[in-house]
Amino acid sequence: MRYYRLRQVDIDGQYSYSPVRAVSFAGATDAAVASLSSYPSPFTSTDQAALVLQAPTAGTAQVQLMDLAGRTIANRTVTTVAGISEIAVPSARELAVGTYLVKVTFASGETKTLRIQKH
């Protein structure tokens, strides 16, 4: 339990206090959110393209690489840690020049989609 009150200061320097309020954070959960990024961007056939996954919990994540028509090019399951995991872009060296989508579904059920580009 935490107790708070506000002190209001007027332009003329006068001040007053609000009533004390009690706030309980019991049962509150972390608002951790999954995120997804890649580097280098854009990448070439000689680059080791990587995905950076930030997961709120450890577990597995489903990584799906698609073309812009929505066709799946590669699909794999990876193990993530609570925090930051780095994985190679599936089939990156074999991809033709163009734009692709990476869709990651985290163990928490949250899904993130990222556009990547190969030059």
3-state helix, strand, coil in the chain (%, to 5): 5, 55, 45
- Express each pLDDT in 32-47 by its tens digit: 678 999 999 999 999 9
19: helix, strand or coil: coil
Q: Domains of the chain by range and CATH?
A: 35-118 (2.60.40.1940)
pTM of the full predicted structure?
0.70
Between 15-19, 37-41, 46-50, 54-58, the lowest mean confidence (pLDDT) is in 54-58
